[in-house]
Amino acid sequence: MTDSMKEELRKAPFVAVMLDETTDISNVAQMSYVLRYVTDDGIKERFFKYEDVTEDKRAEAIATRLLEFLRESGCIDKVVAQCYDGAAVMASGLNGVQAKVKETIPQALFIHCYAHILNLVLSKGASKIRECKVFFSHLSGLATFFSRSAKRTKLLDDICQHRLPRAAPTRWCFHSRLVCTVAEKTRELREVFEHIVDHHTEFDDETVHCSDGYITLLTSFDFSFWLKTFHAIFSYSDVVFEILQNKGFDMQFCLARVDQLQRQIEQEKGNFDSVYDETQALVGPPRGRGAQGDVRARYRELHCSVIDSLLTQISNRFSDHKKLEFLALLDPQQFGHYCNYFQLLP
């Protein structure tokens, strides 16, 4: 910590603390400490240090280290907020770090990153449905297929002229990019796989075998149906994700966009027939084990289940943040508007 940072902290009336843990390539768990505080020049956000937490990642141990750091920094009495990810060890209201910090600093309000909440909404909402879990595993495999071979990647560049983003398990914005890319480049991807099968002597057995399977996958009703479904949902969630990561928007605006996202996802229920009919016109009717009985009704039920699961996750994970809307009254950028508004009141 530099002398100027110490001086800034000494003068700051309020401080918020942010922690995040990551494991480096040597398998050492590193905890990063960031403080955000108010100065005469505005809001400052400073990185202070990394700390090795490999030996003990329990909530009690992390909270003890954090409180010790705040005492050493001379700002423990100024802390008004704490921000972590959604892991139970950090976010639990009973035994998590945030709860243990509140035992010492009762006024330290816990805030969960809005963009990370949206990631969790999409992750938990989709993973609860077996068909969706299978769909995203196929999608990830598609990206991995090209990333493991320079020869495959070059062929993808030549025919598709667009690389597939690698999907990250905890970053659903990457899943979104992958869905959008595959949806927009389905025809070109089929050309890539058909080229490999047609020129099988130029490729190894694994490449040919996988390519033959991916041709079947891209022309299957199930995969195409979920591709269209999530392409529509991600077109809405991507906009909100960008808003939630923009520091220029206040909490009230962000929560209004989350409410709008809920309405847009809800409306997708009414689009089931068009999604189903377009998929059937593109690749033909469902085949195989899933083609028994009233197939359309089964897919309608699955479609509604996915949407209901996402809506439930949004409602549950953003509900507490409605209590913080009053903080918009403290936004200095809005003071001019408030002054004009209240002067106009009779």
Question: Is the separation of the CB atoms in 268 and 306 below 8 Å?
Answer: no
Q: Which two tokens stand for residue 160?
A: 């598709």
From 132, 105, 330, 320, select the one nearest 230 (Cα to Cα): 132
pTM of the complete model = 0.72
For 11-112, the fitting CATH number among 3.30.230, 3.30.420, 3.30.310, 1.10.1060 is 3.30.420
Per-10-residue mean pLDDT for the chain, 346 residues long? 80 90 82 88 87 88 92 90 79 81 89 69 72 88 90 92 72 75 94 95 94 95 94 88 76 84 92 95 84 86 91 75 64 71 61
Give the C-alpha distances (Å, rounded to integers) separating 323 from 87, 108, 247.
22, 15, 20
Give the C-alpha distances (Å, rounded to integers) separating 54 from 61, 65, 272.
11, 13, 48
Give me the residue spans of the domains in the chain. Answer: 11-112, 117-327
From 55, 86, 63, select the one nearest 17 (Cα to Cα): 63
Cα distance between residue 255 and residue 259, in whole Å: 6
Which residues sit opposite 45 in a β-bridge?
36
Cα distance between residue 126 and residue 230, in whole Å: 10
Which residues sit opposite 331 in a β-bridge?
none
Q: Which residue has the tokens 């560049």?
A: 157
**Quick one: pLDDT at residue 331?**
67
From 136, 168, 148, select the one nearest 210 (Cα to Cα): 148
Strands 42-52 and 79-84, bridge-based pairing = unpaired
Q: Three-state DSSP class for 171?
A: strand
**Quick one: pLDDT at residue 243?**
83
Buried b (16+ CB within 10 A) or exposed e, 167-178: beeeebbbbbbb
Question: Is the separation of the CB atoms in 48 and 1 below 8 Å?
Answer: yes
**Quick one: pLDDT at residue 105?**
92
From 220, 240, 308, 323, select the one nearest 272 (Cα to Cα): 308
Q: What is the crossing angle of helices 205-218 and 130-147, to 10°?
A: 140
Structure confidence by residue, pLDDT tens digits, 242-274: 887 777 777 778 888 888 999 999 999 999 999
Angle made by CA atoms 178, 180, 185, in degrees to the nearest 5: 95
Question: Is the separation of the CB atoms in 224 and 179 below 8 Å?
Answer: no
